[in-house]
Structure formats: structure tokens, C-alpha cells
Amino acid sequence: MNIEELFVLSTKAIFANKLRSFLTTLGITIGVFAIIVLVSIGSGLQTYITNEISSLGPNIIDVIPGNSLLTAFGPGTQNKLTISLAQGLSDKLTSTAQVAPLVEVLTTVKYKNIESKNVYAIGTTYVYPKAVVYGKTVIGTFFSKGQEQSGANVAVIGYTVYSKYFKNQNPIGQKIFIGNEKYTVVGVTEKSGVSLGVDHDNVVYMPLEAAHSQFGIDRLTEIVVNAKSQELVPIVKTQINTVLSKKLTKDEFSIQTGDTLVNTISNITNMLSLALGGIAAISLLVGGIGVANIMLVSVTERTKEIGLRKALGAKRNDILAQFLLEAVMLSVTGGIIGIILGMLASIGIAIILVSTVTWWSVILAFGFSAAVGIIFGMAPALRASKLNPIDALRYE
């Protein structure tokens, strides 16, 4: 029997039980669909985060408290990154980098009795706009060294805060409440948008000292160090390490450049993709069991047909190939439908969230569904091929 005849035979058998074939196929479709979509989301997330990080600038070195891997996966360690440490670091690095220490507090902002809850108040120094891309102002200026040192209550507001309170109105010189204290607005930062549900413009910037005295925080969320050139990045890294190691153990701070940050995040998103893909693979496995089940039913139902075919001269492999191909066609059809639906869904998801269809996941999903067909179709097909013609013919 040649392959073309086998195809015709299997297609006929599949169409003979349309509903049953459809439901069997559906199990594989769902499994493959889940793999494609979840892997697409995982890799979309990774691409997105990687792009975000590199948009921060190639020379950025991030100093954060604790061990970055431990804080990502385990309980946080006590924050030992103090304002005075940052000050020391800044003094040592004056010739090679800009150093902007940061504290972040979620607080409430109020203007003319209109409250905004959950606004990020970022306490930093006048260096911030030189170190961080988010610091550019569109109205007014960032607070100056003089303003900062005089201890004045000045604030720079993010674009979202500006839009809410001062649309069509000059915000400079206006007084707003950050927490319980009054601040004078001196500038508005440019719009930087929303990513992963976080609005980067729903922030207010205040002098570090003001944040310290108002909120009583002297531990930093991070220190952003911007090397003056890309060549200086490794030197600056070493300098930071030397300075901080005098006061802290190596588990109490982490130095991350764009590269190491991307690596860390890649590790996390890869693990996420793997976990999601694994869960999806289970559903494909269940789909495969469905194929095996229906093929066993099919073999039993067609025992007499198998016997007759054998009586008429069908060899073992003819019968094996017939039933195996049927199983593979069921699962591959399911796989192809799943791939198409999965790709469409991924494109849909990309509009509101992030998602990139990866070719390897498509090929993998297709290969998986074919393999599922072969593996789960093999037992029923072997069973059919081993039927004794006379027993099968007598079967009613």
C-alpha cells in the first residue's frame, strides 16, 4: 500500500466519525494553542524588558541593596545602602560618573483638595537628570544644587501628575501636598509612558534630604551611576565595588550593568517561559491520551474490518500504518489548528500586552503534536496489526 492510498483511507476513517474526530483533535488543539500563546507571552516579555533596559542607556550601572538573585527569589535581606554611603560613592566617582541615589515611597499627592493616591515620590539629588533618562524636563527645570542645599521644599512632577492638576495652566510656583507637606513645583518631566502596567509619569521628585526628613527613610532603593563614557563602565564598576566593599559584605549590595540586568531578567523570564510551557505541555499530554483512547475505541469498533482486510491480504504493516497514520493525522490536524489559533491569539495579545510568536515554539509545537500522534497512536495500531484474522472476522 502506498502513502497516497493510506492518506485516502485515513481521511475517510476520520471523516466517518466527524464529531468524534473533532473532539479528539480539539484536545491537541488546546494543548498546542496553550504552548504557542504562553511561550509567545514569555518571549514577548523578555524582548520588552530587554529593550526597556537598553533604552535606559548603555552606560548605566545600577547599585541595589542585597543580592539581586536572592531578592528576586527569596526573602529580602536588610537594606544596608545608606544615604551617606551614596554620598561617599559620589565623592569618589566625581571624575568618572554621575551618581544619583534614589529612595522611593508610595504616597498621596494633593492639589486644591484633589487627591492622587499611590503616586511614587522619588527622593533624589540634582544629579538625577544627568544620570537617568526619565529626568528630562519639559516645563521648568529639575531642582538645582542650590535649591537642594538650601533645604527648600521643591518638587518636580511627572507628566501624569501635571496633566491631572495643571492642564492649560502654568504649574511652576504652584504648591502641592506630597504626603502632609507642601512643596513648590519647579518643573515637569517629559512623558515616558506606561510599561507593564506601571505609569512612569505618575511620580513626583523631591530632594533626597526632604524625603529623608519627611518620611524618615535613610535607606536607598537604588543608586543610579551613569559612567561618563562606555569605556569607563568596567572601571566605574570596580570603583563602586572597592568603595562599597569597605562598608558592606558582598551579599549586601549588587552592581548591575545593562548586561547583567538583562541576564538576570532573562533568567527569570526563561524560567517563566519554561514553567508556562511545561503546564501547556501537560495539556498536550492529556490531548495525546485522548488520541490513544479514541484510537483504541476505533480499533475495537473496526475489529471486523481489520479481520477482513487481513483475510484479503493486508500485512501487519499495512494495518499498523493505517491506524498510525490516522492517529498522526488527527493530532497533526489538531496541532496545525492550534498553531494558527495560537499565532492569531498572540498577535491579538500583542496589542494590549506583550507577545512575540517565536518560530521555535511553532516548530516545537508541531513536532510535539506529531510525536504525540505517533506515541499515543502506536499502541492501538500495534494492537490492530496483531489481531488474528480469524478472531477478528468472527468478532461481532
Binding site for other proteins (CB under 8 A): 1-2, 5, 12, 16, 304-305, 308-318, 389-390, 393
Per DSSP, the residues of 235-268 read: HHHHHHHHHHHTTS-TTSEEEEEHHHHHHHHHHH
CB of 319: closest distance to other proteins in angstroms?
10
CB of 305: closest distance to other proteins in angstroms?
6
> Smaller CB distance to other proteins: residue 13 or 240?
13
As a whole number of angstroms, the distance between CA 344 and CA 257 comes to 36
- Beta carbons of 223 and 81 less than 8 angstroms apart: yes
CB of 295: closest distance to other proteins in angstroms?
18
CB of 23: closest distance to other proteins in angstroms?
20
Beta-carbon contacts of residue 349 (< 8 Å; ≥ 6 apart): 37, 40, 41, 44, 355
∠ at Cα 136 (212, 124), nearest 5°? 10
> Smaller CB distance to other proteins: residue 60 or 387?
387
> Smaller CB distance to other proteins: residue 182 or 316?
316
As a whole number of angstroms, the distance between CA 53 and CA 56 comes to 5
> Smaller CB distance to other proteins: residue 146 or 313?
313
> Smaller CB distance to other proteins: residue 182 or 386?
386
Torsion of CA 161, 167, 173, 174, to 10 degrees: -70
> Smaller CB distance to other proteins: residue 294 or 345?
294
Please identify which residue in the block is written with the cell numbers 535606559.
56
CB of 373: closest distance to other proteins in angstroms?
22
CB of 33: closest distance to other proteins in angstroms?
32
> Smaller CB distance to other proteins: residue 292 or 306?
306
Residue 290 CA, chain-centre distance (Å), reads 32
CB of 4: closest distance to other proteins in angstroms?
9
CB of 294: closest distance to other proteins in angstroms?
17
- Beta carbons of 35 and 281 less than 8 angstroms apart: yes
∠ at Cα 255 (250, 260), nearest 5°? 120
As a whole number of angstroms, the distance between CA 288 and CA 373 comes to 7
As a whole number of angstroms, the distance between CA 376 and CA 389 comes to 24
> Smaller CB distance to other proteins: residue 138 or 311?
311
Q: Residue 360 — φ and ψ, nearest 5°?
A: -65, -35
Positions of E strands within 7-96: 60-65
CB of 11: closest distance to other proteins in angstroms?
12
CB of 380: closest distance to other proteins in angstroms?
19
> Smaller CB distance to other proteins: residue 155 or 314?
314
**Which long-range CB contacts under 8 A does 243-251 form with residues at least 24 apart?**
243/88, 243/89, 243/92, 244/63, 244/85, 244/89, 247/80, 247/85, 248/80, 248/81, 248/85, 250/67, 251/66, 251/67, 251/70, 251/77
Beta-carbon contacts of residue 245 (< 8 Å; ≥ 6 apart): none
> Smaller CB distance to other proteins: residue 115 or 391?
391
Q: Comparing C-alpha atoms, which of 189, 222, 216, 220 is closest to residue 205?
A: 189
